[in-house]
Structure 1
Amino acid sequence: MASAHGDHAGKELPFDLVMANVERIVARVAVPPSLDVAIGYGKHASKLCRDK
Structure 2
Amino acid sequence: MQDGGSIILTASIGVSKGQGGGTINGASKAAVRSFARTWTVELSGRKIRVNVS
TM over 0.5: no
Q: TM-score range by the shorter chain?
A: 0.3 to 0.5
Q: Specify which structure has the higher proportion of helix.
A: 2
- Higher RCO by CA contacts (8 Å cutoff, separation 6 or greater): 2
TM-score by length of 1: 0.34
TM-score by length of 2: 0.33
Q: Specify which structure has the higher proportion of strand.
A: 2
